[in-house]
């Protein structure tokens, strides 16, 4: 384990005593370890890949990164650590998960995992035509290239072991449901579209399994009707959550959960954890004070109503005075604290399913 004892203990205090033994061990069972974290998905788990190609969906300027290693904007769509960083830390792998396109990556960075995720990504090829991100099929190709690089300087068997003992995390589908479904309404109703995206998730899961990944974490869709930008557009004067968007997310999640479970039983060597992102987030939005939040209906950046990417910048959008009181960082993304409180909710179930 690379995690220092101090960090582990801090994590345990933060993550509630339920998750950690009184000796300050990590959340993992004693006889297992995780070699690498491999992340696929959208802006919530983009560790800076969008810095390296032409897209408007970027976050490599302040105030993004305001609380990241003393104020370094890295392309992470939040003020500090993302879910991939926090997961890598919780699983004792490393403190920060890098972007796969980062040109400074060393071979040893590759051996403990990277994120292939890209802001704007989705499963539907139409989605990245709208958002200009790297689609999930492009991310699959990036993973294949990564496997080639991984085997450059280490024995094939060692590389296979790394992948076999890795955890893959998939956080995607949100952009498809939020941005692409409305423009595909003539071809699909919500149920048939959700079903199509679920089939694409399963196809993706199958593909990475074929490439050697055995432990796979799939995040459900977010309660899309409750993100600040959606509240602003559709939530009326009270800026309430928008049922239509939440219903689509729930429809998708129900099918996804069911089909993933069936998929898992036909691959006995796999461990697939469906993460109920939707209800974890909702329980925080419905009881903000229980988790130390004052504001859950707007972001910390600017007015908090709509700003994201270029609209959330140092000139136009001063940030809120106390980031720790805000669940959302901008119109779409969680603060570091938001991410870590959500992780507290989901981690134990995830570990129980994966090991």
Q: Which residues are catalytic?
A: 43, 330, 333
Taking the complex as a whole, the smallest distance from the CB of residue 36 to ligand NAG amounts, in Å, to 13
Taking the least distance from each CB to ligand NAG, the nearer of 95 and 160 is: 160
- Give yes or no for residue 33 binding ligand NAG (CB under 6 A): no
Q: Which of 203, 240, 261, 316 binds ligand NAG (CB under 6 A)?
A: 203
What's the CA gap between 252 and 255, in Å, rounded?
Answer: 5
DSSP 10: H
Interacting span for ligand NAG (CB under 6 A) from 20-28, 67-75, 161-169, 337-345: 161-169
- Give yes or no for residue 32 binding ligand NAG (CB under 6 A): yes
Taking the least distance from each CB to ligand NAG, the nearer of 105 and 255 is: 255
- Give yes or no for residue 29 binding ligand NAG (CB under 6 A): yes
Angle at 91 between CA 87 and CA 93, to 5 degrees: 95
Helix (H, G, I), strand (E, B) or coil at 35: coil
Interacting span for ligand NAG (CB under 6 A) from 25-33, 69-77, 286-294, 330-338: 25-33
89 phi/psi in degrees, rounded to 5: -70, -45
What's the CA gap between 330 and 184, in Å, rounded?
Answer: 27
Interacting span for ligand NAG (CB under 6 A) from 69-77, 157-165, 175-183, 277-285: 157-165
Taking the complex as a whole, the smallest distance from the CB of residue 108 to ligand NAG amounts, in Å, to 21
Per-residue b/e over 333-355, b at no fewer than 16 CB within 10 Å? Answer: bbbbbbbbbbbbbbbeebbeebe
Taking the least distance from each CB to ligand NAG, the nearer of 70 and 268 is: 268
Taking the complex as a whole, the smallest distance from the CB of residue 89 to ligand NAG amounts, in Å, to 21
Residues 168-197 that bind ligand NAG (CB under 6 A): none
Q: Which position has the token pair 């690379």?
A: 2
- The helices-and-strands tally (H runs, E runs) of the chain is 13, 6
Q: Tell me the DSSP string of 239-258.
A: T---HHHHHHHHHHHHHHHH
DSSP 66: T
Taking the least distance from each CB to ligand NAG, the nearer of 203 and 247 is: 203
Beta-strand runs (E) in 2-157 = 37-41
Taking the least distance from each CB to ligand NAG, the nearer of 55 and 135 is: 135
Interacting span for ligand NAG (CB under 6 A) from 138-146, 159-167, 170-178, 294-302: 159-167
- Give yes or no for residue 349 binding ligand NAG (CB under 6 A): no
Q: Are 177 and 183 in contact (CB under 8 A)?
A: no
- Give yes or no for residue 158 binding ligand NAG (CB under 6 A): no
Q: Categorise residue 92: left if φ over 0, alpha if ψ from -120 to 50, beta otherwise.
A: left
327 phi/psi in degrees, rounded to 5: -80, -40
Residues 6+ apart with CB under 8 A from 350: 217, 273, 275
Taking the least distance from each CB to ligand NAG, the nearer of 164 and 265 is: 164
Interacting span for ligand NAG (CB under 6 A) from 14-22, 158-166, 185-193, 281-289: 158-166
Structure tokens at 148: 């080639």
319 phi/psi in degrees, rounded to 5: -90, 165
Residues 250-289 that bind ligand NAG (CB under 6 A): none
Pattern 205-224, binding to ligand NAG, x per CB under 6 A? Answer: -xx------x----------
Q: Which of 161, 254, 303, 324 binds ligand NAG (CB under 6 A)?
A: 161
Q: Which of 6, 17, 23, 31 binds ligand NAG (CB under 6 A)?
A: 31
Taking the complex as a whole, the smallest distance from the CB of residue 286 to ligand NAG amounts, in Å, to 36
- What kind and span of H or E run contains 327? strand 326-328
Bridge pairing between strands 167-171 and 271-275: unpaired
Taking the complex as a whole, the smallest distance from the CB of residue 14 to ligand NAG amounts, in Å, to 26
What's the CA gap between 273 and 166, in Å, rounded?
Answer: 14
* Footprint on this chain of ligand NAG (rule: CB under 6 A): 29, 31-32, 160-161, 164-165, 203, 206-207, 214
């Amino acid at each position: 384990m690379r995690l220092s004892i101090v960090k582990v203990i801090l994590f345990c205090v933060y993550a509630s005593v339920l998750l950690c033994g009184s000796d300050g061990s990590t959340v993992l069972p004693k006889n297992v370890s995780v070699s690498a974290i491999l992340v696929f998905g959208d802006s919530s788990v983009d560790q800076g890949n969008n810095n390296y190609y032409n897209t408007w969906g970027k976050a490599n300027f302040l105030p993004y990164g305001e609380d990241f290693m003393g104020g370094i904007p890295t392309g992470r769509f939040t003020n500090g650590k993302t879910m991939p960083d926090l997961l890598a830390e919780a699983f004792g792998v490393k403190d920060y998960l890098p972007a796969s396109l980062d040109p400074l990556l060393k071979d040893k960075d590759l051996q403990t995992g990277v994120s292939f995720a890209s802001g704007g990504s989705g499963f539907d090829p139409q989605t990245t035509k709208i958002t200009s991100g790297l689609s999930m099929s492009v991310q699959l190709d990036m993973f294949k290239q990564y496997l080639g690089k991984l085997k450059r300087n280490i024995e094939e068997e060692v590389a296979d072991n790394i992948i076999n003992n890795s955890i893959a995390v998939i956080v995607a589908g949100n952009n498809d449901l939020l941005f692409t479904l409305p423009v595909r309404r003539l071809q699909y109703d919500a149920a048939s579209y959700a079903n199509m995206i679920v089939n694409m998730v399963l196809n993706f899961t199958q593909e990475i399994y074929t490439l050697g990944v055995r432990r796979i974490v799939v995040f459900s869709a977010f309660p899309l009707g409750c993100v600040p930008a959606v509240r602003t557009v559709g939530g009326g004067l009270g800026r309430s959550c928008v049922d239509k968007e939440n219903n689509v997310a729930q429809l998708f999640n129900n099918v996804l959960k069911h089909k993933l479970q069936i998929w898992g039983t036909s691959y006995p060597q796999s461990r697939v954890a469906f993460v109920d992102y939707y209800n974890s987030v909702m329980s925080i939005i419905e009881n903000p004070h229980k988790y130390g939040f004052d504001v859950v209906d707007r972001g910390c950046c600017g007015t908090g109503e709509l700003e994201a990417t270029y609209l959330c910048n140092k000139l136009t959008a001063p940030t809120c005075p106390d980031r720790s009181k805000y669940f959302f960082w901008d119109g779409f993304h969680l603060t570091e604290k938001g991410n870590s409180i959500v992780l507290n909710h989901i981690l134990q179930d995830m570990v129980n399913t994966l090991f």
